[in-house]
Structure 1
Amino acid sequence: MNMKLTVTLTLLTPILFGVLIAAPINPKNVAIIYNTRVAASKDLAVYYATLRSIPKENLIGLNVEDKDQISRKDYNAQIQEPLRKSFTNRNWWTMTRNTQGAQLPSASKITTLVCMRGIPFKIQRDATIQENTSKLPTPFSKANEASVDSELALLGIHRTPASGPQTNPYFKKDVAFSEAGISYMFMVGRIDGPDYSICKRLIDDAVATEKRGLWGMCYLDKALKSGGYTMGEKWLETIFKTNLK
């Protein structure tokens, strides 16, 4: 039988992950992407930049269709290439080539990209793309659909194949993303929701929680198991005991 502990939590995040919290992202290293065809998308970008102290010159407007899905061709033409051009024109990265001849940044001012509502989030599968995928398992060999955000994470690599999975160079890195030595890769986030009022509330609620803490009822469900569960069990005990004080 599982044991459930009910506590009222205040400032949950610092208590749970206090020893794991990394330094906050420098606002100067964040770029915000919005849709120039939608006024509300730009308004949301400006609002987010203001509350997060992100320089206005770090906003990038893209002329892209206002829909959830986009073709691979349109992604390349309307999102990928304009962003790369913008990074180059703003001197945000220093380019080099790796041993395979692929062009990628050796240094980048921007570490984090944040897409606003109005930027598509899904790239459709394109059956016309022909790539050498013979070494990939059958389920992946023809899979070239992707999330826009995952493709943006590798924006700095200029010859990434569309088909199949890619190795995550940040996997098992026990350092802050900005210190991992992978300047060709970006952390990617998104402010999105059913409508723009909800998107704005997401921003407001996050800022308010950081200032006042997170209040409410929480149920801690212990597995009462050993082995790989031990560390998690100790975390739950710490939360419970701390909030009883």
Structure 2
Amino acid sequence: MTRLAAFLRVLPVSTLLIGWSAPLAAQLDPGVASRVVVVANAACAESKEVAEHYLQRRGIPRENLVLLEAPTDETISWDDYLQAVHNPLVRALHHGGWLQGLLGSIHDSAGRLRTALEGHRIDYLVLSRNLPLRIRHDGGRVSEQAAAEVPDQFRRNRGSVEAQLALIPLGSRVEITGYVPNPLFRQQAPTAAQRQAVIRVARLDGPSVAAVKRLIDGGIQAERTQLWGRAFIDLGGPHTRGDEWLRGAADRLENAGLPVVRDTRRAAFAPSTPMDGLALYFGWYAEHVEGPFAIPGFRALAGAIGFHIHSFSATTVRSDQEYWVGPLVEAGVMTVGNVYEPYLELTHHPDLMVEALLGGSTLGEAAFYALPALGWQAVLIGDPLYRPFAEGRRPAELAERLPGPVGAVVRARRLVQEGAVDRAAELLGEAQQRRPHPTLAIELGRLNQERGEPAQARQALRFFRELASPRGEVLALAIEAAGRLTDLGDDAAAIEIYAACIKNLPTSSWRSEVIERARDLAFSAGDMARYRAWSELLKDS
């Protein structure tokens, strides 16, 4: 199968993506851990540390660990990829019995070991931290056939390492220039032949070892109760098709009973957006991380999933400030991205990923269900075994039994919908008294303010005055509390909260807006010391 054939086969299918919503019936085999191969970089202690952590947490046999002597650079040449990653890995997988068939000693025209494979027994190939991420284009490796037949925009062999590894079963039957249609794309129940044509590949990588371990542990924690929280959908991107996908994702999540926050502005979610309880995020279209995700210390719920559609979202996965994949991992979000320009139709489709996840699929199954192209630009960062939603059960069915602040808020909002507003406030108050939490405090303050109980609202919101240094997702809540306290006539408490927050505000227009608001409040309250201090900060902004 040539890459030109792949090109011709994919484009007609792309016109049929919207409106297909058949339920999935995917189920993870109980013995799947034994069919997971973990690959670590023998030259990097951090890579081996992450791999060992994943093996232990998921109960994967130690003999399923493959060590490669590979560069730690994120971007490598085709020579480095073939010599240090592809060919050694193929040998190791064949030697371990993971690949069935013949392994030759000669190379094809692209430099890959020639194989005649009959099948494989790998459910997931998981790359540990600090293995190479992407391969540079090599014009000398574009074959004559590809140069003559593949359209110019796809006449590239640059791409992600995992996109190439996913095609190991096909060997020399596919070229390295362009892309190959994903046999698992939108397949509810893939045939044996379709499953054998692909190896699902995921990566456990990010800005730090700690961030990657949080990702692994967060998914396992979320599986115990099932993921439940708020979904944030950022529409208003540059193309109609992408917005259609995002609306489809939002509709599916709402139909499943998850609360969804939609932003239809052209800009991304503002930094001031309260994103506490974030379980899912899908949006676009900014090159570098923006909004609440750019606030240092921002954390999503354990097991959160999401991605930001952008052509170069995974240019690096090791920075917590550049592009999107790294900052999302730092926030505790399992994600997908692109290492080079993929073109919109060939990226992961958020509506299909949501459909698969809600149908009970694992993250790995959902990612490959939602991805049209292999051998191209995509990466999956996270635990492919993670199953966020129990198969056949709507998230709303479990929401009432959720422990902690999220469960209390769910139950309180249901009571409000039923007209039992006083009981909702009582429930939140009892939960906050048992175990104080910012989410409960802001929810109780909002509810009491809206139901005309200013004294009780002030009491709830003063919780934020006790926080010495609000950070991350709590920062926006604290600033909202300060604004509400100002409206409720408690300027002193509002000023104290602003003072605690300002030092943690990221450099942005939001920072200037908050400082200006605080400065004006200090002036009206007669707090001239803070007025002068915050006036100086504004000059430096």
Q: TM-score, normalised by structure 2?
A: 0.37
Tell me the amino acid that sits aligned with residue 208 of structure 2.
D
Seen in structure 2, the aligned counterparts of structure 1 residues 237 and 130 have a Cα distance that, compared at 3 Å, is closer
Seen in structure 2, the aligned counterparts of structure 1 residues 60 and 231 have a Cα distance that, compared at 3 Å, is closer
**Cα separation, 2, equivalents of 1:230 and 1:62:** 41
Aligned to 2:201: 188
Aligned to 1:23: 27
Answer yes or no: is 1:115 the counterpart of 2:133.
Answer: no
Tell me the amino acid that sits aligned with residue 224 of structure 2.
K
Tell me the amino acid that sits aligned with residue 127 of structure 1.
G
1:74 Cα deviation after fit: 0.9
Q: Verify the 8 A CA contact 2:36 2:126 in the aligned structure 1.
A: yes
**Cα separation, 2, equivalents of 1:91 and 1:165:** 28
Q: Secondary structure at the match of 2:50?
A: helix
Seen in structure 2, the aligned counterparts of structure 1 residues 234 and 206 have a Cα distance that, compared at 3 Å, is closer
**Cα separation, 2, equivalents of 1:213 and 1:27:** 20
Aligned to 2:375: none
Aligned to 2:472: none
Which of 83, 86, 90 does residue 84 from structure 1 map onto?
Answer: 90
1:207 Cα deviation after fit: 0.8
Aligned to 2:138: 126
Which of 60, 64, 77 does residue 58 from structure 1 map onto?
Answer: 64
**Cα separation, 1, equivalents of 2:127 and 2:196:** 19
Bigger drift between 168-177 and 182-191 goes to 168-177
1:180 Cα deviation after fit: 5.3
Q: Verify the 8 A CA contact 1:111 1:183 in the aligned structure 2.
A: no
Q: TM-score, normalised by structure 1?
A: 0.77
1:87 Cα deviation after fit: 1.3
**Cα separation, 2, equivalents of 1:230 and 1:82:** 42
Bigger drift between 228-237 and 190-199 goes to 228-237
Seen in structure 2, the aligned counterparts of structure 1 residues 220 and 71 have a Cα distance that, compared at 3 Å, is closer
Task: Note the 1:1-245 alignment, pairs <5 A.
Answer: 20=24, 22-24=26-28, 26-95=32-101, 103-132=115-144, 133=146, 134-141=148-155, 143-159=156-172, 160-175=174-189, 179=192, 181-218=194-231, 233=251, 236-239=254-257, 242=397, 244=414
Seen in structure 2, the aligned counterparts of structure 1 residues 43 and 219 have a Cα distance that, compared at 3 Å, is closer
User: Which structure is larger by alpha-carbon Rg, 1 or 2?
Assistant: 2
Aligned to 1:7: none
Q: Verify the 8 A CA contact 2:25 2:188 in the aligned structure 1.
A: no
> Gaps spanning 5+ residues in structure 2: where?
1-20, 104-113, 235-244, 259-395, 400-413, 416-541
Tell me the amino acid that sits aligned with residue 61 of structure 1.
L
Seen in structure 2, the aligned counterparts of structure 1 residues 181 and 40 have a Cα distance that, compared at 3 Å, is same
**Cα separation, 2, equivalents of 1:114 and 1:212:** 25
**Cα separation, 2, equivalents of 1:57 and 1:149:** 21
Q: Verify the 8 A CA contact 1:36 1:63 in the aligned structure 2.
A: yes
Tell me the amino acid that sits aligned with residue 149 of structure 1.
E
Higher helix share: 2
Seen in structure 2, the aligned counterparts of structure 1 residues 81 and 220 have a Cα distance that, compared at 3 Å, is closer
Q: Secondary structure at the match of 2:90?
A: helix
Seen in structure 2, the aligned counterparts of structure 1 residues 205 and 21 have a Cα distance that, compared at 3 Å, is farther
**Cα separation, 1, equivalents of 2:158 and 2:248:** 39
Bigger drift between 38-47 and 123-132 goes to 123-132
1 or 2 for the larger relative contact order (CA 8 Å, sep ≥6)? Answer: 1
Seen in structure 2, the aligned counterparts of structure 1 residues 210 and 180 have a Cα distance that, compared at 3 Å, is farther
Which digits, 9 at most, give the CA deviation of each residue in 1:42-89, with x for residues without a partner? 111011011111111011111001111111111111111111101111
Q: Secondary structure at the match of 2:181?
A: coil
Seen in structure 2, the aligned counterparts of structure 1 residues 163 and 21 have a Cα distance that, compared at 3 Å, is same
1:173 Cα deviation after fit: 2.0
Q: Verify the 8 A CA contact 1:105 1:183 in the aligned structure 2.
A: no
**Cα separation, 2, equivalents of 1:70 and 1:85:** 20
Q: Verify the 8 A CA contact 2:25 2:189 in the aligned structure 1.
A: no
CA RMSD of aligned residues (A): 3.0
**Cα separation, 2, equivalents of 1:161 and 1:180:** 20
Q: Verify the 8 A CA contact 1:220 1:236 in the aligned structure 2.
A: no
**Cα separation, 2, equivalents of 1:231 and 1:138:** 32
Q: Secondary structure at the match of 1:188?
A: strand
**Cα separation, 2, equivalents of 1:114 and 1:204:** 16
1:129 Cα deviation after fit: 1.6
**Cα separation, 1, equivalents of 2:50 and 2:142:** 38
Seen in structure 2, the aligned counterparts of structure 1 residues 172 and 60 have a Cα distance that, compared at 3 Å, is same
Seen in structure 2, the aligned counterparts of structure 1 residues 219 and 79 have a Cα distance that, compared at 3 Å, is closer
**Cα separation, 1, equivalents of 2:60 and 2:206:** 22
Q: Secondary structure at the match of 2:126?
A: strand
Tell me the amino acid that sits aligned with residue 26 of structure 2.
A
Q: Verify the 8 A CA contact 2:123 2:199 in the aligned structure 1.
A: yes
Q: Secondary structure at the match of 1:47?
A: helix
**Cα separation, 1, equivalents of 2:87 and 2:180:** 20
Tell me the amino acid that sits aligned with residue 236 of structure 1.
E
Seen in structure 2, the aligned counterparts of structure 1 residues 68 and 232 have a Cα distance that, compared at 3 Å, is closer
Q: Verify the 8 A CA contact 1:170 1:180 in the aligned structure 2.
A: no
Tell me the amino acid that sits aligned with residue 51 of structure 1.
R
- Equivalenced residue count is 217
**Cα separation, 1, equivalents of 2:252 and 2:169:** 40
